[in-house]
Structure 1
Amino acid sequence: MTDHLVVLDQLPTATEFYRSYWNRRPFVVRGAIAADVMGELISGEELAGLAMEEAPQSRMVRTAGAKQNWSCDFGPFAEKDFTKAGEKNWSLLVQHVEQFHPETSVLLRAFSFAPRWLMDDIMVSFSAPGGSVGGHIDSYHVFLVQGEGKRRWKIGREAIEQEHYIEDIPLKVLSEEFIGDDVEVTSGDVIYVPPRFAHEGTTLESALTYSVGFLGPKLSELFSGYAQYLAEFEDLDQRYVGAGLDEGSAGFMLDRSAVDSLRQSFAAPLASEDFTQWLVEFFTASSHEDFGDYSEREEMLYDDEFEGELKDGASLIKPEYVKFAITAAAEGGFALGFDSQSFSLDEKLFPLVQMFMKEELVNSKSYPDLFEHPAYLEFLLELYNHQALEFA
């Protein structure tokens, strides 16, 4: 390993991360994740079992020869697929593992300095010796957490603006070598790779890798998402009536005043509090088709049942895999987003919500004002009945 890849003693603080690394340069941290946390994560056998189910998105990548022959098959898989794979040169990758194996989501606590509202998923890969998906670039920020086994990574030194891929293969593998630094990682080591920095991992000993990805939306996704939101409210979805036009727009002429008028029709909704409210809904929508429909739990509780549980000493907690987004409102208070829904809340509730965002236990002892106002319990019950909170 050379001096180009930064080696840190511990994961950075939020200030250090955004000042020196976010979108700027990769780093590696040895032993960043404690052994007891690593022990909670999904195992190779459990990952294989998950890949046999219908809902998870899974794929198996194989290489042959000098990595000139690539194949990629998509799940669900059967036991025979793993038997036929052999002992070398293949990798199994499963998306959204935090949703299907909630214990794995405890890993997210280590990355509280990153924007959790941009968290996309935890992808987990098991790879046999020689397993690789080739040199590639991603559109997202990724923390590569090494589980069991050993892998060697080559990490690029700068973002690639124009990439070229090997033709006629089912994967996006870079066709040209990239300049980078080599590093071997073992259990608990973490590598941060910014978007568009090339990287390539090769398995030295049968290994598990937990990829924690943070992905921002495309501009087109933001525009179309907000447009759909506006369309749901007649008073927000105003028709363009040509305010401010003059004789310069007569006939077929779209003059400067018309262009400015149209631009303003875009600007006004973007400057409104409705846009702020929508953002917390947008960033808590799931990228997996089976999640994100604000579904109620099968066994819902009613007000008196819920209050009784808490008065009997029960504690509430937000599971790590549940994504919140929060933003201050212009007129005081704040908006909380969860699972494509939003809540306008009084600022007095912020300390309570903050405890949930830190995945801390909330009960009558940790939050003495829990029963101060009926609205507090109504809000918590709403979150509980829609599976944002659980009893610990």
Structure 2
Amino acid sequence: MLVQAVDHYAPEVAALIEPFRFIPNWRIDDVMVSYATDGAGVGPHFDQYDVFLIQGLGRRRWRIGAHCDDDTALLPHDDLRLLAGFEATAEWVLEPGDILYVPPGVAHEGVAVGDDCMTYSVGFRAPSRGELIAHWSEHLLENLQNDDRYADPDLQAQKNPGEISAQAIAKLHAMVTEKMRDRDAFARWFGQHSSTPKNPDMDWRPEEPIRIETLRERLTEGLSLCRNSASRFSFIRQDANSVLLFVDGERFECTEETAALAETLCARNRITIDPRLIKSASAMALIVALFNQGSVAFDQAD
């Protein structure tokens, strides 16, 4: 049995990600939990991303094989890249607490040794070139005007009307690449794209939106904030005093003390707000927005 995104619902499972924070937030996907009885497993397969396999309950035998790619023969399956053939080159039996790292593309197979075998898989995202081009292009198309068209007022008569001239190709190519090469626009898009929740259908918003006055009162009382473990936080630095904060597909422009707050929110799961920030209208407005979209909440441990 495979259950994805368990870290979104169980804080104890989300805590497994903390030792891997040397990897940027935007690369982290989720923690999948697999449960198997003696001799069970999904079969030999490979993934296209890094994965750390943490053994919980019981024991599991892992066998590692060759590196795979798009030409590797697969068995029919909608969700897994099950291998049609597999030859192991190494194997280990993981005991509770052991960790095995499997690089992208490496064939592997895990089989439970005994009953009640539970493995936690910390997976990381690695977008393909095709995915980036497709999603970035889709975003650009949504914002293009229909009257932004090719024109050649300086057209010269050609010896052969069947020729597509070098000048026409250059102008047509520029129409496409000028938009695609806008680095700042790409950065803003990617921040929102990469922070979009894994399960966007889940509604984490509070039953009652919080007001700035209420937020100030609660923070003044000493309450801390914690991030929703299902939320994705990242930022892009604009300059020394400003950043773009991306949380769950939303973008926030932060400057001065709010920029520092944004960086802290991205670095820590739980934070205590400095009393000086409680007086800042921009800082409180940011926290209210994050609170009301379900990205942060009051720490229940307080």
TM-score range for the pair, normalised by the shorter chain length: 0.7 to 0.9
Residues 234 and 312 (structure 1 numbering): CA distance in 2 closer, same or farther, change over 3 Å?
farther
Find 1:369's aligned residue among 242, 256, 276: 276
Q: Using the TM superposition, give the Cα deviation of residue 341 of structure 1 relative to its aligned residue in structure 2, in angstroms.
A: 1.2
1:273 — aligned with what? 184
Secondary structure in 2 matching 1:377: helix
1:329 alignment partner AA: Q
2:83 — aligned with what? 174
Find 1:384's aligned residue among 267, 291, 295: 291
Find 1:139's aligned residue among 43, 48, 68: 48
Q: Using the TM superposition, give the Cα deviation of residue 129 of structure 1 relative to its aligned residue in structure 2, in angstroms.
A: 0.6
Q: Count residues with an aligned counterpart.
A: 296
1:390 alignment partner AA: A
1:193 and 2:118 matched? no
Q: Using the TM superposition, give the Cα deviation of residue 338 of structure 1 relative to its aligned residue in structure 2, in angstroms.
A: 1.3
Q: Using the TM superposition, give the Cα deviation of residue 190 of structure 1 relative to its aligned residue in structure 2, in angstroms.
A: 1.4
Structure 2 CA distance for aligned equivalents of residues 181 and 307 of structure 1: 57
User: What pairs up with 1:250-289 in 2 under 5 angstroms?
Assistant: 251=161, 253-269=163-179, 270-288=181-199
Percent of pairs with identical residues? 27
Q: Using the TM superposition, give the Cα deviation of residue 281 of structure 1 relative to its aligned residue in structure 2, in angstroms.
A: 0.3
1:324 alignment partner AA: F
Q: Using the TM superposition, give the Cα deviation of residue 289 of structure 1 relative to its aligned residue in structure 2, in angstroms.
A: 5.1
1:346 — aligned with what? 255
1:125 and 2:11 matched? no
Q: Using the TM superposition, give the Cα deviation of residue 186 of structure 1 relative to its aligned residue in structure 2, in angstroms.
A: 1.4
Gaps of 5+ in 1: 1-91
> Deviation string for 1:222-252 (max 9, x for gaps)?
23433443355467x8824347975488955
* RMSD of aligned Cα (Å): 3.0
Q: Is the Cα–Cα contact under 8 Å of residues 196 and 249 in structure 2 kept in the other structure?
A: yes
> Deviation string for 1:320-375 (max 9, x for gaps)?
332112112269622111111111211543432232223253224xx343134211
2:268 — aligned with what? 359
TM-score, length of structure 1 as denominator length: 0.67
Gaps of 5+ in 2: none
Find 2:9's aligned residue among 85, 88, 100: 100
Residues 279 and 169 (structure 1 numbering): CA distance in 2 closer, same or farther, change over 3 Å?
closer
Q: Is the Cα–Cα contact under 8 Å of residues 246 and 257 in structure 1 kept in the other structure?
A: no
Q: Is the Cα–Cα contact under 8 Å of residues 28 and 124 in structure 2 kept in the other structure?
A: yes
Structure 1 CA distance for aligned equivalents of residues 130 and 114 of structure 2: 42
2:122 alignment partner AA: V
Q: Using the TM superposition, give the Cα deviation of residue 263 of structure 1 relative to its aligned residue in structure 2, in angstroms.
A: 3.0
Residues 178 and 378 (structure 1 numbering): CA distance in 2 closer, same or farther, change over 3 Å?
same
User: What pairs up with 1:1-392 in 2 under 5 angstroms?
Assistant: 92-156=1-65, 158-160=67-69, 162-166=71-75, 172-206=81-115, 207-233=117-143, 239-242=148-151, 246-247=155-156, 251=161, 253-269=163-179, 270-288=181-199, 290-291=201-202, 296-329=205-238, 333-364=242-273, 367-392=274-299
